[in-house]
Structure 1
Amino acid sequence: MTSRAIIPVKLSLTEGDFYTLWAPTWKEHGAEWQAFLGDDAGLFLFTSPAKMYAFLRSGKRHDLTSHPKWGAFDAQPADQIVPDKKESFDIIGAPAVLAGRPSYENVSTLGRVFQVSKSLAEVTGADDAVLFFASHSVLGNVQRGADHYAGEHGLGEWSAVGRAVLSNWDKVVASLDEQVRVIDVDDAATTEAQKLIDDARVRTAEARAAAEAAAKEAEEQADPYDSSVWGVAGIDPVKITLDGKSVYTLRTYVDGAPVFLGRHGEIFTFPTTRQLARWLVENDEHDMAGLATWETVMTHANAGELDVTVHPDNQYSFQGLVSDIGKGPDAVDTAQMGRGYELFADAADWAADDSLNSYLLANPRTQDYLSYMLGSTETAGYVPSKPYSDHANAWKELEEMLVKRFSKF
């Protein structure tokens, strides 16, 4: 019914509605226990949640203080002392529930009433109620839910439960009524307790509203890509635009190391995302085939449901960069250059060759220029000088090294 260890409950008996605390079955030292708020003399009932809270605040002795979860319960906000709808048990009204059909609501309601009534009877020693639950095995099936009564004999069994209740429920209720011991609390303490409950309700409502607003904002700001097959698999489609052409491939990182869709240093590239998706269905000889999440991608590809969407973070454009480098440092989009260099480095790392490092070692002026433009601290005192065309030509050569890795361009 609930995962809470101690539950505030509302019990409807002959004399009206009463409030108390219920500790459903728990295990301690190898034995099973259950309890209600009370002491050696019996059950404590209150006519309002405020009176119950005032009593608890008074520090008077009761048995639940020995419950292993009492400290956690006692530390809750004051409004947690008020039962919600599912913690309200109309014990005296059980026959009315059985007058209806075994719907989900009716069976669930009756199951909760039976559960708390049986527990109440066993804890307080209400003999007639204990005997009733022990003598009618048909009652136990109510806990199985509405599906139990959906079969061919379901209505008949539901009627059997009704007959048992109709014949005995007055005795059950009467035996539970005998256990009613209403604890009175003075008006001043009750008024103070009610104020604490009301204040806590306001704070709870404000916290809930703030949480809902934050969740809504997070949902609105969430990137749909994260929940796509690519986001789930951690493998990204990549778009590379260079010399007026665009090609598509895939890339991921394993333990920080780049892995491209390709093999033996060749990056498999495609002019359209549709061609890429079709190729995947028919080919599995590439470095990504052994990835743990590759099956996630292929499940969608084989079902014809693979939408190859390139996130803006994975779009690399080299357009106009060579020309801008030739104009001087101020004309260069350093973010565009940095992303381009990232792609150069990733491709070289994946191919496990030293072509990029070897080129830069052979061209120290280019290495200094890139370090300066990309914000490296290793070039203190260096400032690019004309002719900038040398840097433009060097960048062009790096682009050509990248294109040589493509299967198609």
Structure 2
Amino acid sequence: MARPSIVPIALTLDDRTGYTLWAPPWEEDGEEWQAFLGTTEGDVAKVHLFPSPAALAAFCRTSTDHDLADHPVWPVVQGLGAADLTPDDDHRYDLDGVYDIAAESPDRWAVEELAATIDIVSRLAECLDTSAEPEDDDLDEPDGQFEAVAELAGKPEIGSLGLGAEAFAGRSGEDAWLGVGGVLDELWEDVVEELSEHLDWTGAGSTTLDAYPAASEAEELGAEDLPDDVVLVDDDEPEATGPAAGVRTIARGGRISASPAEVAEAGRFWESVGILPVEVVVPEGAGVTLRCYVEDVARFLGRDGEVFLFDGPEALARFCKGTEDHDLTEIASWPEVADTDVRALPADQDRYDLTELSEVLAEVADGAAGLVDHRAFAQPVEGARDLAEYGGLARVEELLAPASPLGQAIARGEANPGATLRAEDAAVLRPLWDEVVTQVGGTLVFRD
């Protein structure tokens, strides 16, 4: 069971996006707990939603009358600003977009996003259901306040989402994906109706519906058009120090300007050719490249173990249209890549910020223990392993080996992703990870 933590999340419903907090399951006094930022009045439990991270932060600083007030790390959360309470992409749930996702091809993005959205709805229902538990011998007891949610979660078609995109491959997979869509057509409106009764869009009386920009319009707004209390996180801003910094997002936004819709649209082409855009961030800088797998071995746009990085999709496209030799030339689909005008926009799963894990480990070692979990390792380690494999970096393989301190931390993360990092562990792991980053950085060549 993970140690206590609190995670900012965003919910989009009825063309509004609201921000709130979720405390994932933790154990205290031998019991398992889970909660959202909300209150219960009579028989109705509600989650408080706010129109921006800034409004959420203001509420957290002043209010203690809610279900998270007794959470072990609430005193830390009270001191956080809007940037620290801005959800990362993995904790944004678009309930309006479920039908659209189900209408897409069942690639890993669609499957993972749909699974995550249904999971958070199930967790909300679990926490918000105030009906009494039925006795085993009392068959007349009501089924609870979230019958549609329970029925949805119990459908085998929905359960198959947890198996990943592989469950929807081939002819049988297509039928399975159609089955998921059929279940959603049958139940999703009832699920949303049940949940809506428990969502407080007034932020416990601190705001009004007029304060929420339409979610469909907010995606199109530039920084100069946003309301004053909507905060955009700038990766170049100095980061906080001390315990509060450990709750911040463990995945900074991509450095390439593109909307989620643009990334998804471009992803359809890159998935079809089997070569994906990848973003890599190291202390020397950030860049985009291309990667595929040949017999499960990573191969990058590069040569002789060196990976070519470009400032953005445009510079990468210019190189791809040229005649310089490289290790992807012999890939069968390369002519399509060289000829395409589709931008190389990395999906969130293909962004590897190797520097941020160093910063996170430093924060945990400095006092943010218990506020960052082992999931922080998963994505940067995946990128480092691929780059080390391509570059033939034996030292990186040694540093990440199962018996090494880093390898053991990675294994703990795979076995229990929510287990939080301890200060003493972070102090040992940081210099080892820094060596990994240095080794990997030596294989990267920044191109014009």
Q: Structure 2-normalised TM-score?
A: 0.42
Higher helix fraction: Structure 1 or Structure 2? 1
Higher RCO (C-alpha under 8 Å, 6+ residues apart): 2
Q: Structure 1-normalised TM-score?
A: 0.46
Question: Highest CA radius of gyration, 1 or 2?
Answer: 1
